[in-house]
Chains A and B, each alone.
Chain A
Amino acid sequence: MLKDITLGQYFPGDTIVHRLDPRTKLILVVLYIIALFQAEGWVSYAVVLAVSVLCMLLSHIRPKNLFRGLKPMLIIITLTALLNIFYTDGTPVVPGWIITWEGIARAVKMILRIVLLITGTFLLTYTTSPIALTDGLEMLLSPLKKWKVPVHEMTMMMSMALRFIPTLIEETDKIMSAQRARGADFETGSLVRRATALIPVLVPLFVSSFRRADELAVAMECRCYHGGEGRTRMKQLVMSSADHVALLLGVLFLAGIIVLKLLGL
């Protein structure tokens, strides 16, 4: 069960999407999200869908992996769809019914919007190593340092958190096995029962995480960590011409969607 967690997962590869600078990809994802929320008519949705399918094909990420990330969101997606179907006014599909044509159309658009939002952002984390991602984020946000925003600290915490996800998953598995061996039952009973059964897992997990954090902090100090000041990078980020082209295409894409919106398509 725990192995299914796709958060922060990275599939190494050597496609054009993988090679783009993380900063470019971050900006493109932001442009993509704005475009997605600007889309209103069917034509705009079709364009956004086509663009994301194209990116998916370019990245050689298997659709299976992208859809696996959608699984946890299934409940939210169905719930939003149902609410939209039943609570939208308009012409009923069959006279007297509560379901309207407008409701169905809105439900379909909502599903598309959520699915495209998730797959789009997953495409970013799947094709960018966490280190590159946090490096890119740090550089993009670095102007905020002027206003005393602790950008380096925030991105450092983020990359540490990503680094410890597999370690903590392993540890959770271990603790669960240990509690199971002593008769704990995590699978049966009501939701409340199963939730309370997790307490003996969470308490040792928290305690050991704090101990880990303490040891990690000492180990980092031993390796001369003293904040972001005067730090250099082994892997420096370089914007290539491909990045400039990609950014230009991204801006054109957003502009196109806005034009479509103004045309009411």
Chain B
Amino acid sequence: MSSIIQFDHVHYKYPGDEKESLCGISLSIEEGSFVAVLGRNGSGKSSVAKHMNAILVPDSGKVTVCGMDTADESNLLKIRRNVGMVFQNPDNQIVANVVEDDVAFAPENLGIPSAEIRERVDSSLELVGMLEYKKHAPHLLSGGQKQRVAIAGVLAMQPGIIVLDEPTAMLDPQGRKDVISTITRLCRENHMTVVLITHHMDECVNADEVIVLSAGSVAASGPPQEVFSDIALMEEQGLSSPETVKILYDLNREGFSFPLTTLGVDACAQMIADALESR
């Protein structure tokens, strides 16, 4: 596997800000992987996301996406159609008042022939499980459904990478579950690279890699099992580990010796049950 997004000592400061929001970040994201980016508010998560499709360009350092330098203005459209971006508030990214017209927006901008747009719209809606709602008005859908329409809207560009900036922050638990399972499926079955920016630990359990950001630089990175089992680090970053890790950690303090690498709820329950039985 090769790295599809590469940050090389990226510095960035928002105009008018005193402090840099990115202080020399270097990271690389493998093609086809599911990467979760964590960090508390102000850690630079959203700035990292916005660098991935050239909404922001670094003050110094370099961001390379699919081998293209984001600072090069002539690559702009090519980068944006390769990196689909989904934001927090679904209401503010839906542009049309019929679901299928909204999904068609991006391919229309790309100048794709109408017959092919129709195909792309239907298949994108199918991928997120919203095909039956294609004639609906978006403002009548639930939050989770709107967010899935927004995802379909970027899928219609047929991007290789999809970046989601806290897509579940405004959703109820059911909507969160639907969105997360949709993007997990896109990564596993459709081999897309997924970058999920979030502060819900439970959403990162299935990720291949977790990157923890703190004050504009990378505080930790690695497979979720590794990162989450470092309870001290997580607490220092103001993040809480997934519930499963917390339970195992607390049980260990009471004399058990569970590995802290089991993140799935069922597997964790099974492990505790086995341990109790053998006692």
Complex alpha-carbon distance, A230 and B104, angstroms: 15
Complex contact B111–A163 (CB within 8 A): no
Which chain A positions have C-beta within 8 A of B101?
A: 131, 234-235
Q: Of A47-55, A81-89, A104-112, A210-218, which stretch is located at the interface?
A: A210-218
Q: Is B231 an interface residue (CB 8 A)?
A: no
List residues 79-116 of chain B with CB under 8 A from any CB of chain A. Answer: 80-81, 84-85, 87, 89, 91-98, 100-101, 104-114
Q: How many A-B residue contacts, CB cutoff 8 Å?
A: 93
B169-187 interface bits toward A, Cβ cutoff 8 Å, 1 = contact, 0 = none: 0000000000000000000
Q: What is the CB-to-nearest-CB distance from A124 to chain B, in angstroms, rounded to a whole number?
A: 17
Which chain B positions have C-beta within 8 A of A167?
A: 91, 139
Q: Is A231 an interface residue (CB 8 A)?
A: yes
Complex alpha-carbon distance, A231 and B106, angstroms: 10
Contact of A221 among B55, B110, B113, B153 (CB under 8 A): B55
Complex contact B55–A232 (CB within 8 A): no
Q: Is A220 an interface residue (CB 8 A)?
A: yes
Q: What is the CB-to-nearest-CB distance from B231 to chain A, in angstroms, rounded to a whole number?
A: 36
Q: Is A71 an interface residue (CB 8 A)?
A: no
Q: Is B21 an interface residue (CB 8 A)?
A: no
Complex alpha-carbon distance, A233 and B115, angstroms: 9
Complex alpha-carbon distance, A231 and B95, angstroms: 15
Q: Is B53 an interface residue (CB 8 A)?
A: yes
Secondary structure at the A interface, as helix, strand, loop or mixed, is helix
Q: Is B121 an interface residue (CB 8 A)?
A: yes
Find the B residue at minimum CB distance from A229: B111
Contact of B97 among A131, A218, A219 (CB under 8 A): A131
Complex alpha-carbon distance, A131 and B87, angstroms: 24
Find the B residue at minimum CB distance from A129: B98
Complex alpha-carbon distance, A219 and B108, angstroms: 15
Given contacts A129-B98, A231-B111, A234-B101, contact A223 B117 (CB under 8 A): no
Find the A residue at minimum CB distance from B55: A218
Q: Is A130 an interface residue (CB 8 A)?
A: yes
List residues 152-200 of chain B with CB under 8 A from any CB of chain A. Answer: 153-154, 157
Q: Is A162 an interface residue (CB 8 A)?
A: yes
Q: Is B77 an interface residue (CB 8 A)?
A: yes
Which chain A positions have C-beta within 8 A of B154?
A: 222-223
Give chain B's interface residues, CB within 8 Å of chain A.
53, 55, 77, 80-81, 84-85, 87, 89, 91-98, 100-101, 104-114, 117-118, 121, 137, 139, 153-154, 157
Known: A160-B95, A220-B105. 15 other contacts (CB 8 A): A162-B97, A167-B139, A212-B91, A215-B93, A216-B95, A219-B92, A219-B93, A220-B95, A223-B95, A224-B77, A231-B108, A231-B111, A234-B114, A234-B117, A234-B121
Which 9 A-B pairs rank lowest in CB-CB distance, beginning with the nearest?
A219-B93, A234-B104, A223-B106, A215-B92, A222-B85, A234-B117, A230-B111, A166-B139, A224-B109
